[in-house]
Amino acid sequence: MNLNQVLAGFRERGLKLTPQRQQIVMVLLAAGRPLSAREIADLVHRSFPNIGLGTVYRTLEALRGFGLLDEILFPDGGKRFEFHRQHQHHLICLGCGQAVAFPFCPADCLVKVAEQNPDFEVRGHTFAVFGYCRDCRETGGQGE
Amino acid sequence: MNLNQVLAGFRERGLKLTPQRQQIVMVLLAAGRPLSAREIADLVHRSFPNIGLGTVYRTLEALRGFGLLDEILFPDGGKRFEFHRQHQHHLICLGCGQAVAFPFCPADCLVKVAEQNPDFEVRGHTFAVFGYCRDCRETGGQGE
DNA sequence: CTACATGCAAAGACTTTGCACAGTT
DNA sequence: AACTGTGCAAAGTCTTTGCATGTAG
């Protein structure tokens, strides 16, 4: 997933390529981990001090609309957003929020599911692993 | 997962077993699919017309606290709650919201993840498949 | 120039919290 | 009797929406 791909997505749909949108996309790409709407707004705020949360949400909705964005529910109940990089899933630290992508996909499960439920039209799936990274384990970040 | 197991959970922790809590638990067990906080409140409302949403949320938080409850993010952005039945995951219809459990778990992925990230302490994972069931496909429920 | 996007603010949805009273143990 | 839970309502947080203005195409 790169910037141009995403920008092309807007164009294809007749949506406009405003500087704010570009910045939102760049922030998401640069973070390399799931961000909350608020985090995105704060980061974009550096370049666009007047940006409204509405703009962030509208942009996220657009990205989600053309299938480029995943929404992830963290165990703390908060939602985060990130581009899905052609089928990677994530290892997410509950202490520091760092996310590491891993290339394994529960494909065999999907196949079994599809076999046993031929009438079900699969449209998507989610898979995420939560836990604590080494740093957070060492610093006691695993506190419940 | 059955009623007594859950009720024992409250007892073990010195929490009280009020009729409202029992009803909330029963509603969740009876539904057999993920419910939103609002749905739970509405269902419990039949038995306890005065129940407050606060009570529902507090009970859900307690259940989550002792690890009996999963929180699932639907593609529409809404959260749903349900007991995790000893490691089943779900096939969830985006049209009618019906959920069917399936026994496959992306265990091999978890193993690979653990192998390649020995410093990461895995605490949990989520896996869900979304799509459209036969009824919803036939009735055009798959509209985007 | 036209249509769509932005910023702002209000509205709406969802969730948490404080408090007085009630109910469980 | 002690202490926790409940209902209610207010407060907080998160997200969506309306509208006048701005700007990309």
**What is the residue extent of each domain of chain A?**
1-85, 86-144
Residue whose token pair is 């992830």: A72
Sign of the CA dihedral running B24, B25, B30, B34: positive
Average pLDDT over residues B63-84: 89
CB A64 within 8 A of CB A6: no
Distance CA A45, CA B90 (A): 39
Q: Please tell me the predicted confidence (pLDDT) of residue B88.
A: 72
Q: Please tell me the predicted confidence (pLDDT) of residue B60.
A: 96
Residue B72 is classified by DSSP as E
Question: What phi, psi does B127 have (nearest 5°)?
Answer: -155, 125
Distance A39 CA to C19 C1' (A): 34
Residue whose token pair is 């997962």: B1
pLDDT band at A141 (very low <50, low <70, confident <90, very high): very low
Closest nucleotide to B21, Cα to C1': D5
Structure confidence by residue, pLDDT tens digits, B13-46: 889 999 999 999 999 999 978 999 999 999 999 9
| CA B53 from centroid of its chain's CA atoms | 17
Cβ-defined contact of A132 to B120 (cutoff 8 Å): yes
Mean pLDDT, rounded, of chain A: 86
Cβ-defined contact of B132 to A109 (cutoff 8 Å): no
pTM for the whole thing? Answer: 0.79
Among the four given CATH numbers 3.30.1490.190, 3.40.1000.10, 2.60.40.740, 3.30.70.940, the one describing domain B86-144 = 3.30.1490.190
Helix (H) or strand (E) holding A109: helix A107-116
Question: What phi, psi does A54 have (nearest 5°)?
Answer: -55, -40
**Protein side of the strand C interface (CB < 7 A):** A 14-16, 18, 20-21, 48, 50-55, 58-59, 62, 77; B 11, 16-19, 36-38, 52-54, 57-58, 61, 78-79
As to burial, measured by CB atoms within 10 angstroms (0-12 exposed, 13-18 middle, 19+ buried), residue A82 is buried
Give which of A108, A109, A138, A144 to mutate to test B binding, by max B Cβ within 10 Å: A109
User: What CATH number does the domain located at A1-85 have?
Assistant: 1.10.10.10
Choose between A105 and B73: higher pLDDT.
Answer: B73
Cβ-defined contact of B120 to A73 (cutoff 8 Å): no
User: Chain B closest CA to A20's CA: distance in Å?
Assistant: 23
Residue lying closest to nucleotide D22, CA to C1': A18
Lowest mean pLDDT among A73-82, B77-86, B97-106: B97-106
**B107 pLDDT higher than 80:** no
- Which residue, A61, A117, A120, A79, is CA-closest to B95? A120
Strand D within 7 A of B20 CB: yes
Mean pLDDT, rounded, of chain B: 86
Q: What is the CA radius of gyration of chain B?
A: 17
> CA angle, B57 as apex, B27 and B123 as ends, to 5°?
90
Residues 15-44 of chain A within 7 A of strand D, judged by CB, are: 16-19, 36-38
Residue whose token pair is 């760092």: A98
**B124 pLDDT higher than 90:** no
The strand pair at B121-132 and B99-102 is best described as unpaired
Residue A51 — left, alpha, or beta (φ > 0 → left; ψ -120 to 50 → alpha)?
beta
Structure confidence by residue, pLDDT tens digits, A83-130: 876 667 788 887 777 788 787 778 777 888 888 888 888 887 888 888
Q: Please tell me the predicted confidence (pLDDT) of residue A98.
A: 78
The most confident of A72-86, A91-105, B127-141, by mean pLDDT:
A72-86
